[in-house]
A and B are shown apart, each in its own frame.
Chain A
């Protein structure tokens, strides 16, 4: 009996063991790559049309969901940054330009929408988040009236309640502003609460360039 024949069972198991070894050693892939970048599309809209979707998620109190409608109305270029910092205009370099995204939102006032992020994706696959230049704009929620809180712990007394004066209207508009490279052709608006799950909203025709 040859060596190969005597050890055929172990040889057959060797690839399985190597795969198990690789899987056990790759736990950080989820922590440091998969879960920190937008990888799972939960809903994808169509250019120029509103998208209604439901996002199932889990907070400190357990499983729940949010349902909302969102539409990217326009992605427009601005001549200047519409904010000032310490009384001075926010300075931009020549290789940067400013775009403002206009978004319409609709959701029942009891839907928990706090903690969401809006970002842009360009034709080269780059993701542009709210700028490091110090610009801060309400990206998902109206500047006043954020609606239900997100409980931070099981014993969070406030739970998913709505603080006084924070009742949210059923429909609102936001206009977040982004600083992007001159050569960035904006193709999609991304929306997420907890990565890697995210929503993709293609920009309307004749916008984003």
Chain B
């Protein structure tokens, strides 16, 4: 083989290797905390099967007030309440990541003041239930997905691990109804049986 042709083939091989590496790097970007191969997408009412457990969004409701330990708090917007059922596969599943995200990528953590659990724990082989409560702007209720994973964003643990992204599937009328709610509930606590929301009547504190 002529030397110029050989050199040309070698250069082409180097360029091809770099192009392949670029494709691989793009598909498994180290910059994304969650990348596509590890997302498990679902919709309310259907279970999402993960390698470490199973999760399902059962119901969505909203409240303006939540009561916990005889004290009631008002949401800045509305408390959007998401009922989740889940079970661990081989071990207890602790949801290190729980958040809502909208179409613009804006995220909402579970509300610290709501009195609901900030994370959920599901035993191996046993279905558990819990309501997660988020303080969200009423205008964003119709476009939210629930993101749940075993690892924590704080410790970078969601990278290269499966994460469930569940469409809350709220149509416009239902979202508008939830956005206007003035309901007050007892902040629900997790357990091994489903818990219906318990309405409370608020009393105005006397000065």
Which A positions have Cβ atoms within 8 angstroms of B?
28, 32, 37, 90-93, 95-96, 124-129, 131-134, 179-181, 183-184
**Are the C-beta atoms of A93 and B122 separated by less than 8 Å?**
no
**Are the C-beta atoms of B190 and A132 separated by less than 8 Å?**
yes
The bracket for how many chain B residues form the interface is 20 to 34
A132 touching B151 in the complex, CB below 8 Å, given contacts A92-B193, A125-B90? no
Q: Report Cα–Cα, A96/B92, bound state, in Å.
A: 15
Q: Report Cα–Cα, A33/B89, bound state, in Å.
A: 15
A90's nearest neighbour on chain B, judged by CB, is B191
**Are the C-beta atoms of A132 and B127 separated by less than 8 Å?**
no
B24 to chain A, nearest CB (A): 12
List, in ascending order, chain A residues with CB within 8 A of B190's CB.
132
**Are the C-beta atoms of A181 and B125 separated by less than 8 Å?**
yes
20 A-B pairs, CB-CB below 8 angstroms? Answer: A32-B151, A32-B157, A90-B191, A91-B193, A93-B127, A93-B192, A96-B126, A125-B90, A126-B91, A126-B124, A127-B90, A128-B92, A128-B124, A129-B123, A131-B192, A132-B92, A133-B192, A179-B126, A180-B125, A183-B125
User: Would you list which residues of chain B between 166 and 200 have a CB under 8 Å from chain A?
Assistant: 189-193
A170 to chain B, nearest CB (A): 33
**Are the C-beta atoms of A132 and B193 separated by less than 8 Å?**
no
Q: Report Cα–Cα, A42/B120, bound state, in Å.
A: 31
**Are the C-beta atoms of A28 and B125 separated by less than 8 Å?**
no
